[in-house]
Structure 1
Amino acid sequence: MDLLCTHIDQIRPVKPGTEGCEECMALGDSWVHLRMCLGCGHVGCCDSSKNRHATRHYGSTDHPIAASHEPGEDWAWCYADKLMLDLA
């Protein structure tokens, strides 16, 4: 499935900007799971979280790929192509 993603070339060697969702931490809010932008390292909450900050980050930056930032998970999601990517 990775071969269908047209945005692989936009993945950068990034480090997480924070240990939790940047926006939720500023709001004093909670999240369900975390995603890290592979374009800039922004950490945001997943779509199961009420604020959906990872998706909002994509909407405001057009950084298309976010990886799971959960221990033991090696996958990413391309928002633009709507594809799951195996990073293992």
Structure 2
Amino acid sequence: MTTISDPHLRLVRPVEPLTPQGCAECLRIGSAWVHLRLCLTCGHVGCCDSSPLRHARAHAHAIGHPVVQSFEPGEDWRWCYVDEVYV
């Protein structure tokens, strides 16, 4: 996987997952998810674009926190929703 330098990486902070048990919004409404993403600015846990409600992307665009990391065991990649690239 190729990564690039992304200006949005300046928004990355040390975070703890706010809802380590799953997607915050899906847990609240009782919806299912496919995979989880961790916001690297605030610790929000949201569901991926393959999930029915795409809460991680919605959070990134609504709140302005563009960089997420996979919250799946064994995965360590990061994604920028603004530039649509691995970072």
TM-score range, shorter chain: over 0.9
Q: 1:24 and 2:21 equivalent? A: no
Listed as ranges, the gaps of 5+ residues in structure 2 are none
Aligned partner of 2:35 among 33, 36, 61: 33
Structure 1, residues 7-45: CA drift from partner, whole Å, max 9, x if none? 111100000000200000001111000001000000000
Among the aligned pairs, what percent are the same residue? Answer: 54
Q: Tell me how far 1:2 sits from its aligned partner.
A: 2.5
Aligned length: 84
Question: What is the distance in 2 between the residues matched to 1:64 and 1:52?
Answer: 14
How is 1:1-88 mapped onto 2 (pairs within 5 angstroms)? Answer: 1-3=3-5, 5-18=6-19, 19-85=21-87
Question: What is the distance in 2 between the residues matched to 1:28 and 1:43?
Answer: 15
Q: Tell me how far 1:82 sits from its aligned partner.
A: 1.2
TM-score, normalisation: structure 2: 0.92
Which one-letter code corresponds to 1:43 in the other structure?
V
Question: What is the distance in 2 between the residues matched to 1:64 and 1:58?
Answer: 5
Task: State the Cα RMSD in Å.
Answer: 0.8
Give the match's secondary structure for 1:55: helix
Question: What is the distance in 2 between the residues matched to 1:64 and 1:24?
Answer: 20
Contact 1:6 1:81 in 2 (8 A): no
Q: Tell me how far 1:52 sits from its aligned partner.
A: 0.2
Q: Tell me how far 1:6 sits from its aligned partner.
A: 1.1
Give the match's secondary structure for 2:68: strand
